[in-house]
Structure 1
């Protein structure tokens, strides 16, 4: 999101504010098999805002045929509470999606093009250059509507079809976004292929190719290194991270995709590392429990299971070793 993504180049100092954008209501809900009632989506979103989350990707203006779970985008946006200072965002794939978003009171939108030609064809049935050309009209419309645009780059750290994605390719797309008028880009780890080394390389390549362009990071935890990649991002000066309640998520058009890094786990890590998130972890865990109950299955988040580090237990309820 243009208003929050980092412009820093030095490591993020301890105590600095970090923006965590909750993407579960979009990235998490989009692949659920059973439709989540609109009222339940609104209840979960409001609970997340009540925890102190102030940036949220609430929905996506995609074709209901392609993603039926998000067919109620307008109704969700009309029904949620909007805390003062909150940044309400949505994903859009094209001009039609931008037109829908402009009429729903969002503060910013997130476009997306893949760094991999094969994935872009699978995701939106277009070449990379065609997608970027299409975004010219999107940027014009949204600029006239006063809505900020973040240029999203999917498969930024690797593609399940093509393998390695050169950081220079990511930087080239970032520069195209900057030329269109974006003030920030979000790098998406669509199938969890990011490593600390690839994150470092991509961030540095963008800073060399598109100086002044803000960078946000969106990691999945497919191979268990999502939070390690966050620490690398912090070392590179990035202060904007996406995460999903309970660790929900995954791209329906990418083989092998699993959930995003978990919002509660990320907030725990950042709080324990001395950063300012503005989020009440206990209330956030409550929102995760509500999400888990709504979906009717155990979610992968770790803090949801274990609680915070200094949680206390009654020794009288714990067995004592014999002998």
Structure 2
């Protein structure tokens, strides 16, 4: 059996007592019936062991979901330019452009960051299977900025553990709708799958703990330039949290305003700073990705609009 994707999750306090099939269906883009099938085929392991669909999740459970090959898959190296901020034999730090998908998925096997990495690097960590080699964390397609990729399994495990322990510094900048009055604040609200639209995330009562800290960098006539630091790494976390407090990210096609004033290709959200302990050197390293052109242009427009008033 060819495993093309391996997803690793951890049970948290708010997951205690949930059935494993319910827990996984809420976390992944798969139906509960498909999850149940994976469990019955022995492709879901909890703490290294097979379980039944009725198994109740416990805090700190390690849940591994193996996705088997459904069709003949070939992820080929592609000569796509990369903006490399740092590279050694263990890791490669990339400034990902807006519009680039991080890893292949069914129906989209080319033009991704993984295709580019396979061309550039001789080796990548194999922990996450064929579709996501080296991918320790990800950025949304239309979120630009810094991310780290593991070149070997040792580096992958070290970085994954740091992310799990919430010791990795993840600092973003965003331009949001409306003017935020307070200088700084925190958004502490659980995030899970939207109860109706399974492709969206939302603040839901039985979601997973999520914490975002933000501070205002600059105010404009109808918008605010903010810095957001995430202490947890939930899917779409910053986009969901900022929308939840009434200040969605400008250009966000999913969580933002239906009518967009600015003609952007996606949300004005940029992963600016990433800091972690190097997997083998054992020293703290911090990387910063400069603001991309689309972001600086929007700031210039907003400053000019503000000056005219």
TM-score by length of 1: 0.26
* More strand, by proportion: 2
Higher RCO (CA-CA < 8 Å; seq separation 6+): 1
Q: Which has the higher helix share?
A: 1
TM-score (norm: length of structure 2): 0.27
